[in-house]
Structure formats: C-alpha cells, structure tokens
Amino acid sequence: MKVALFIPCYIDQFYPQVGIATLQLLEKLGCEVAFPLQQTCCGQPMANSGFASLSKGCDINFVENFSGFDYIVAPSGSCVLHVKEHLKDESHPEEAKKIRNSIYELTEFLTDVLKVETINTRFPHKVGLHNSCHGQRGLALSSMTERMLPEFSKPEQLLSMVKGIQLSKPKRNDECCGFGGTFCVFEEAVSVKMGKDRIKEHDANEIEYITGGDTSCLMHLEGILKRQGSKVKTIHIAEILNSSL
C-alpha cells in the first residue's frame, strides 16, 4: 500500500519526533511510505484568519506534492480537516478532489483502512487523552457528548491495545483546549484560560502524560504546563503507539 506522509509545518519544524514516530509506525505496519520533499503547509493558518484567498500558494504546492498517491496520512486532525474541506486548485481540480477524498488522519487510517487490531507496544504510564475538536467533531474520530449517538473512539480503541497504559479521561471529555490557530494569540486571555482548565481536569486524574492526535493542542498545553512548572508531559499518540515496537 503506497502511502504519502504529510508532516504539517509546525511538526516538521518543532516536533520532528512526531513525524519520525508516524513514519516508523506506518512502515512497521506494512505501508510503503513516501515523503514528498517539497511539502510545506496546508494553508490553514491563513484561511482560518479570514484569508483563504491567500492560501492558494499553499494549495497549489500541496497538490503538486501529493498527487498520485492511494492514501495521504498526517498525524494531525486539524490539518487533515482543512485539506478535506478547503483544498482547491483551479488548474488541477481532479487531483485536488482526489486528495480531499484520500487524506486521512493517522488514527482513522489505522482503525479504518489498515484495520489494526493489535499493536505490539508498551507504555506503562498514566495517560490522559485530549480529544482535538477538529479530529473529534470535524473528522468524527469519536462520538461527541452533544450528539445522542452510540459511543465510540478511534484513538481510545488504539490506545487500549497498548500494554501497561493507564488511560484516563478528563471530566469534560470533549471540551476545547483553546488553541484555535491564530485564536491563541488574538484571543490570548480566553485561549490560555481554556488551556488551564483542561490541564486542571487532567491533573485531577494524576496523570504523567497528556496525549492526543493534534500536536497543535499539545503545543499549547505544553506551553502552559511548562510555565506552571508542571511535571506532566505532552506526547503525540503516534509516539505512544510507536514506543518499543
């Protein structure tokens, strides 16, 4: 199975270990992974700020890099959602459409396409799961407390395969962390308050790690945790699923 790996810009620059874990995990699960070398950003920062008109360059570059693959996988629900909903290329509309329909967030790719049922991995720690809104509500990676539908969770399904892990959920299981892209600086006070409140609920479960499928949420929470001098660490779900494989 030929899979193209999309590593969002901020992961590429600040969290290479998340990209490495994703790549290794996919390869160990039998995928032939390509990493298109001229990839940059999906364009979401501009589009969510009201300047979708300025994300054309990113769109064109994205289509150039990711055309012709069966699947595109990224360790970020938010960037995947943006590509799914907004990727456009007037000169290559068919390619853009194909990309929109074949891009997957990592955990849904593992559960829905690879249909992973066992993972030989151990992570003997107390871990709190943070559901990113774009992954959960946008991509329907798990059921949502607002909707009256059967319960499920793709990330939890995968984490339950990890040996030794003690998984806990915060009291408000699907409340936003407050990152919100440029919201985190333009609405700094609310953003930080939302993050602090998430951390408080995870702290109540006495966890060692907060994990999730979106490094952007984790980066925001990590920034607050470090400022608080907390011992709690953030870790991307790919790193847990790839540990001691």
Partner 1 sequence: MKTTHAALAEKFIADEPRTDWHDETLWFVREKRDKAAHGLPEWEQLREWGSQIKNHTLSNLYNYLKEFEEKAVANGIKVHWAADGDEHNKIIHEIIRKHNIQKIVKSKSMLTEECHLNEYLQEHGIEVVDTDLGERIVQFRKEPPSHIVLPAIHLKKEDVSATFHEHLGTEKGNNDPQYLTEAARQHLRDKFVQSQLAITGVNFAVAETGGFVVCTNEGNADMGAHTAPVHIACMGFEKIIPKAEHLSVFLRLLARSATGQPITTYSSHFHKPRPNQEMHIVLVDNGRSRQLGREDFRNSLKCIRCAACFNTCPVYRRSGGHSYHTAVAGPIGSILNPNLDMKANADLPFASTLCGSCTNVCPVKINIHEQLWKWRQVIAAEGYVATSKKIGMKGMDFLLSKPKVYRFAGKMGRWMIRIVPFVVNNKLNVWYKQREMPEPPKESFRDWYLKNGKTNKK
For position 202 contacting partner 1 by CB under 8 A, the verdict is no
For position 189 contacting partner 1 by CB under 8 A, the verdict is yes
Categorise residue 50: left if φ over 0, alpha if ψ from -120 to 50, beta otherwise.
Answer: left
Residues 23-52: x where in contact with partner 1 by CB under 8 A, - otherwise, as a string: xx--xx----x-x-xxxxx-x-xxxxxxxx
Rounded least distance, CB 162 to partner 1, Å? 21
Q: Binder to partner 1 among 148, 150, 151, 231 (CB under 8 A)? A: 148
| Residue 154 near residue 141 (C-beta atoms within 8 A) | yes
Please state at what angle helix 93-102 crosses helix 56-66, rounded to 10 degrees.
80
- Our CB check for partner 1 shows the closer of 65 and 165 to be 65
For position 194 contacting partner 1 by CB under 8 A, the verdict is yes
CA-to-CA dists, residue 156 to 96, 117, 127, 131, 204, angstroms:
31, 12, 11, 10, 20
- Our CB check for partner 1 shows the closer of 160 and 171 to be 171
- Our CB check for partner 1 shows the closer of 116 and 192 to be 192
For position 16 contacting partner 1 by CB under 8 A, the verdict is yes
Rounded least distance, CB 97 to partner 1, Å? 19
Neighbours of 137 (CB within 10 A): 18
Instruction: State the pairing for strand pair 71-74/32-34.
Output: unpaired
Q: Binder to partner 1 among 3, 25, 58, 207 (CB under 8 A)? A: 58
- Our CB check for partner 1 shows the closer of 81 and 165 to be 81
For position 15 contacting partner 1 by CB under 8 A, the verdict is yes
Distance CA 73, CA 78 (A): 12
DSSP line for 24-51: HHHHHTT-EEE--TT----SHHHHHTT-
Rounded least distance, CB 88 to partner 1, Å? 13
Residues 208-237 that bind partner 1 (CB under 8 A): 219-220, 222-224, 226-227
CA 16 distance to own-chain centroid = 14
